[in-house]
Amino acid sequence: MGEEETFIDDAKVSTETRVCYSVGKRVLAQPLYVLMISAGLFPFVSNKICPIDLKGIGLILSCALFSLIGVILTWQNLKQLLNRTPQIIISDDGLILADQPFHSWSVISDLHIVPRGPGTRIKYYLQYNAPKMFDIELDSFDMSHDKLRQRLQLHRSRFIFRHTKSNNKKI
């Protein structure tokens, strides 16, 4: 492509964007998970358990399972709620994921935000190669996928512009 692309910087955006778990989503979900635990325990504390027969055993097991799922979801939710470390750091030099080392824009390829799922249950994922494939679910973060896409494009464009201008070649 012989045409020069024009780069327009947004001076309001700093050289680094930090993406953390969403506190609002976690706070709203927490009462639901506590309600699951309570609903599963209710038959035990209210003495509404049937006699020990197949129906009673089924009720006991289903209530215990419902409570167990509630406990697991509560624990996972609390871990994310209390974890304020950035899960994704986007800079003018590259990307850092919470559990991965730094990846420079020069080694990142096939960068996409991809929707997956049926109908209204669509989840968004950040995918890229650096050189192995990374696939990060985005719905639990404090930034929308559209804003994240804009930030990724801006930071990557800054890198390309800086290196194209200094080296007089495209990366």
* Chain segment 20-37, per-residue pLDDT in tens: 999 988 898 899 999 999
Out of 4-8, 83-87, 109-113, 114-118, which region has the weakest mean confidence (pLDDT)?
4-8
Give the mean model confidence (pLDDT) for residues 95-114.
93
Q: For the chain, which residues make up each domain, given as ranges?
A: 16-20+87-167, 23-82
How would you classify the pairing of strands 88-91 and 133-137? unpaired
What is the spatial distance between Cα 169 and Cα 153, in angstroms, rounded to a whole number?
19
**Tell me: the pLDDT tens digits for 39-81?**
888 877 776 655 566 667 777 788 889 999 999 999 999 998 8
In terms of phi and psi (left: phi > 0; alpha: psi -120 to 50; beta: otherwise), the region of 152 is: alpha
CB 63 within 8 A of CB 41: yes
pLDDT (0 to 100) of residue 163:
81
**Residue owning tokens 């559990």:** 99
Question: Percentage of the chain with pLDDT > 90?
Answer: 53
Give the mean model confidence (pLDDT) for residues 91-104.
93
**Residue owning tokens 């995918």:** 127
Mean pLDDT value across the chain: 85
What is the spatial distance between Cα 98 and Cα 75, in angstroms, rounded to a whole number?
20
- Helix intervals (H) in the chain: 23-45, 54-82, 145-167
Q: Is the pTM of this model over 0.85?
A: no
